[in-house]
A and B are shown apart, each in its own frame.
Chain A
Amino acid sequence: MNNGFLPSWLKTRLLTPVRSLARGLGSTQWGLLLPAVGLLGMSLEVSQCPQNLARPLALDVFKMRSEDAIPPSVPVKAIDESDPVWRFRYVETGTEFRAGIPYWIFRIMPKIFAEEFKGQGYEYFGFTADDDKYYKSRPVPRGMSIGDTSVRSQLLKVDFTLKRVSINCSGCHQGEYLDAAGKRVLQVGMPNHTADLQGFKRLFGTAFQSPKFEAKRVIAEINAALAEEKKPPLDWKEQLVYTGLVQTMKQLTRVAPGAWMDVRPDNGPGRIDPFNAVKFEVLEVPDDQTVATLDFPSVWNQRKEIRPWHHCDGNTDNSSARNFGSVIGVGGIPESVNKRTVTRNGEWLDAFPSPKYPFTAPDEAAKNRGADVFKQRCASCHGVFGPDNKHLTERGPQFMTVDLKVGTDPERWKAFLPDTSEALNRFGFNANLWPRQAFRGSAAQGGYLCGPLDGIWARAPYLHNGSVPNIEELLKPPDKRVKTFYRGNRHYDEARLGFVSNLATDEQRALFEYDTALTGNSNAGHDYGTDLSDAQRADLIAYLKTL
């Protein structure tokens, strides 16, 4: 190698010994020197500035003034970052990469697409304003987080400083209802039965292809929004970045990511088809035509003592698989999953209790009679909770087993057969998300888990697909149950134990009409308890309110 640019004394005193050493080690002088210099540099960095290495690498790729103009979240009091409820509600889980929307684009979408949002903004999709428990104001609705996009791999943690809005745990698992006084209550762990995730996803999937979504209009709307915040408009560099972002979004959604949903019945609020989303969008398996739509589940009491298996078909007993899989299902990529936060949320939910019934307490005598009915007719499958409602005192022989005779809609278990579980296992294992055998596919004749009924009042509508609006309906023979009803109402029907389901609107918001005749929406099956007398049924409902 020509080292003519080096002084001769350096060649003699440094490179010659290095060359000899390198030859002795079967290398070359530069092959030895370059790693050695790298090691020396890293050693100095470790010893002198370990803080530089300890923190994530911040890639301030855009360095945009408009990022600083994003309205801050104003806390009611100092935030305790160890508070698990705060973490569950506000910390990002890593869904930003595939599903995150840059804040200013998120902000102006209801203006560009006012017709699609029906003039109601994100409330149209059930993402209502947050309560004031933690923040006086936030730039995004409840159930959503805002943060820099981060890659959190073991080998390299990088923060990309472009703030994006994305859904976190509370987007699906924080429910909303109106209490007896008509006041809005947000309940952590409860299914978000008012949020229309599919509508939200579909709108963004198609809107970016719309001629209305073009760079000039986007920049103009962002400038208007910045003016509302009394901030200067985008400068030329930022305009260039947003022009690129618009084109990128158009490119990414050229084949609508949720196109597979268009040939299936609409989910409506409070429902999602997470496994098919992973199958078709992440694993990219061929469309098997299944309609595996689920009611959002509650997420309290997740510990193994109560729930040794997870998901309605009990397809995994692994918490990591359940938790990280959920993030992947709503837009995360393996490298972006915020494993630390998601794991801590999962551990906290293990012991997080179900909420007490917030309305009129049931009559004591009726409750006791209902408890007897429950033990006779329901406990063998659903188990019995002790007086503290935290521990199971009885587990019947069928408790947490897959009931092959339940007769409810089969689409969901058909969507997760062994070949799918194998593909998902391989995906998660290779990405260090879950163990190789974390998921199990349904048997040839599948069914659904017999699970505990803790906090059952807050889990309406019922059955895995949310096809029965309330308990009173569920205790009717399947052919007598309502064929259509409205989902997404926040008013509670205490007598029937479920949300009001016969009204087409909730205040100004139009509700979703659920049709049980559509594929995947069947309300058949689970005919247990359908032969109870009216009095027994009322007693049983009184008891269920106490769980």
Chain B
Amino acid sequence: MFPLLETAIAFAAVMLTASLLVSAVVQGIQGAGAYRSDIVSGLLRSVIHGFRSFYNDPDTLTVDYPDPNNPDDLEPAQGRVFAGERAFVKDIMADPTLHARGDAVSYGDEPARQAKYVEYISASDLVAIARNHAEYAAATPGSDPVARMELVSSPVPPPAESGTQIILTRAGDELRFLPASWLYAKGGAEVAEKLRREKPYATLAKFAEYVQHWYPTFEATASQAFKTKIRRLTRFVACSLVVLLNVDSVGLMLNLYRNSGGEYAQRIPELKEQAERLGVTQADVEPTAVAASVNTASAAAGSAAAAAGSVAAPASSVAAPASSVAAPASSVAAPASSVAAPASSASASPPPPPPADLKLLLSGLDDPMLGLGWQSSQIVDTWCAYTGKCPSSQEALSGWQAANATIVWLFGLLLSCALLSLGAPFWYNALAGLLNLKSAVQTKNEQADVAKGVTPSEKRS
């Protein structure tokens, strides 16, 4: 009835299929590469580095502001700073307290190996773990941190609340020093004294205050870093898919137009189901909905749908930046907001949806109507006709015709790369909009026919 509109709908459906495939692949890579854990590592490293910089630790200042007159100071300072940061990150992420929150990260296995499963840590948890380490370090200077759990018998009390604000400091924290290894202050029994003398700022109280104040900023920065990383990965996967499957948008649109692309719209129910499995829903692309979901994210962030990639902002209940709405791929979830909720809220969450059906998504692109792939492609057929090296459905072509077709094809591939980089939420929204448009046009036409007195049967005849 509306060939152009139906072609556009079919095109959007194909793009959504491909985008969902890209999202699924990105999610797979993200999981296999422990991206979230990597981001949390970076966040923790930023915290300890920022803490030391904030209190003008000489080593950190040397690293942050190298003195051109004393270049030889830089490398040893870097070594000390990095070693301290690595120790901090390792101790925090390998802490078994964090590993008792899910089936995959159960307590009792090798803590260091489990660190890659840690995808979220809250400010209060960070301070609590730091406190445990500090207490143990004070009690047994130079000891093995893994053995710390055997010594610390009393659980850490929950953080106190003042109004709506959580207070992370405790009485006595001003007398507790952070473990020496985090500050690269090596030594034996005298290390505590050395710390007091050389790094008087490194008390747990100051650390807690620092975390209390700056952690949301680090979370937001980490969230943005994660988004950027996933966005880049998405673009890479999208462009690779375009080359791998020869997704030529121009040829695709022509094929859909010629082959009554409206038939492809029959796939839309399956696509919606797959989009839901991947966490791409209409709500994800509506700014108000995003903001609302972010506000509740810290409470129910463990929902698997969010973990699967809803477009969420940092955890600290701030409104999502407008740009996140158009972020590519559904899998741009802030690590702090979308993973590892407390067990109590996670247990109340609905069961996670089954993973996306990659086979079904691939079969959606395997339709002969679309003309994707290389072996039966228009471009190969064109060059077969031009070179005469293989059978072709076309008559012999001139060099100019072949070159012309190639330029259009290359343009089609680049266009596909750009369009797929827009991400599944964009195509989900575009498809919904086109379907609404079709429905509105149909209704308007029917109303016009009724006004003219034309019955549907007359119109068909």
Contacts and interface: CB of A to CB of B under 8 A. Distances in A.
B242 A54 contact: no
Interface string A32-66: 10110011001100110111011111000000000
Interface in B357-403: 360, 362-363, 365-368, 370-377, 379-381, 383-384, 387, 389-391
Contacts of B370: 154
B410 A51 contact: no
Contact of A35 (B379, B391, B417): B417
Contact of A54 (B244, B372, B384): B384
Given A154-B373, A155-B365, A155-B366, A50 B244 contact: no
B266 A436 contact: yes
B263 A38 contact: no
Interface in A420-465: 429-432, 435-436
B383 A47 contact: yes
A153 B360 CA distance: 13
A54 B391 contact: yes
Contacts of B447: none
- Among A39, A54, A334, chain B packs the most CB atoms within 10 A around the CB of A54
Contact of A38 (B243, B266, B366, B372): B243
A157 to B, nearest CB: 5
A181 interface: no
A330 to B, nearest CB: 21
Contacts of B243: 35, 38-39, 42
Given A54-B391, A157-B375, A34 B236 contact: yes
A435 B266 CA distance: 9
Interface string A9-36: 0000000000000000111101110110
A35 B242 contact: yes
A156 interface: yes
Given A154-B376, A155-B372, A432 B366 contact: yes
Nearest to A432: B367
A81 to B, nearest CB: 13
Nearest to B235: A27
Interface string A197-240: 00000000000000000000000000000000000000000000
Nearest to B270: A430
Interface residues of A, number: 36
Contacts of B389: 49-51
A159 to B, nearest CB: 11
A51 B390 contact: yes
B390 A55 contact: yes
- Among B242, B374, B387, chain A packs the most CB atoms within 10 A around the CB of B374
A34 B390 contact: no
A435 B263 contact: yes
A155 B245 contact: yes
Counting contact residues on chain B (CB < 8 A from A), the size range is 35 or more
Given A50-B389, A154-B366, A31 B380 contact: no
Contact of B232 (A26, A46, A55, A435): A26
Nearest to A51: B390
B363 to A, nearest CB: 6
Contacts of B266: 429, 435-436
Contact of B240 (A34, A55, A153): A34
A156 B375 contact: yes
B239 A35 contact: yes
Given A54-B375, A155-B373, A38 B240 contact: yes
Contacts of B371: 154
Contacts of B131: none
Interface in A133-161: 153-157
Contacts of B365: 155
B231 interface: yes
A43 B375 contact: no
Contacts of A38: 240, 243-244
B57 to A, nearest CB: 28
- Among A34, A154, A430, chain B packs the most CB atoms within 10 A around the CB of A154
A56 B363 CA distance: 19
Contacts of B384: 50-51, 54
A146 B436 CA distance: 52
Contacts of A429: 266-267
A153 B236 contact: no
Given A42-B374, A154-B370, A435-B263, A31 B390 contact: no
B406 interface: yes
Contacts of A27: 232, 235-236
A385 to B, nearest CB: 32
A432 B363 contact: yes
Contact of B380 (A32, A53, A155, A431): A53
A42 to B, nearest CB: 6
B380 A28 contact: no
Contacts of B192: none
Given A27-B232, A39-B413, A432-B363, A53 B374 contact: yes
Contacts of B228: 26
Nearest to B387: A50
A278 B377 CA distance: 33
Contacts of A334: 363
A46 B380 contact: yes
A39 B410 CA distance: 9
B240 A35 contact: yes
A57 B236 CA distance: 26
Contacts of A47: 383, 406
Given A26-B235, A27-B236, A154-B368, A430 B383 contact: no
B147 to A, nearest CB: 36
B375 A55 contact: yes
A435 B369 CA distance: 13
A124 B368 CA distance: 41
A51 B389 CA distance: 6
A153 B365 CA distance: 10
B203 to A, nearest CB: 38
B281 to A, nearest CB: 21
A25 B235 contact: yes
A242 to B, nearest CB: 31
A156 B266 CA distance: 24
A46 B379 contact: yes
Contacts of B368: 154, 339, 432
Contact of B236 (A35, A39, A156, A432): A35
Interface in B23-56: none
A546 B240 CA distance: 63
Contacts of B245: 155
A35 B380 CA distance: 19
Contacts of A42: 243, 246, 374
Interface string A152-178: 011111000000000000000000000
Nearest to A431: B363
A49 B380 CA distance: 9
A31 B406 CA distance: 24
Interface in B253-295: 263, 266-267, 270
Contacts of B242: 35
Nearest to B359: A430
A154 B255 CA distance: 14
Interface in A40-99: 42-43, 46-47, 49-51, 53-57
Contacts of B421: 26
Nearest to B368: A154
27 contacts: A26-B228, A26-B231, A26-B235, A27-B236, A28-B232, A30-B236, A31-B233, A34-B240, A35-B236, A35-B240, A35-B242, A42-B243, A43-B410, A50-B380, A50-B383, A50-B389, A54-B391, A55-B390, A56-B375, A153-B373, A154-B376, A155-B365, A429-B266, A429-B267, A430-B363, A432-B363, A432-B367
Closest 3 CB pairs of A and B: A35-B239, A31-B236, A51-B390
Interface of A: 25-28, 30-32, 34-35, 38-39, 42-43, 46-47, 49-51, 53-57, 153-157, 334, 339, 429-432, 435-436
Given A27-B236, A54-B381, A155-B245, 7 more contacts: A26-B231, A28-B236, A51-B384, A54-B375, A54-B380, A55-B390, A154-B371
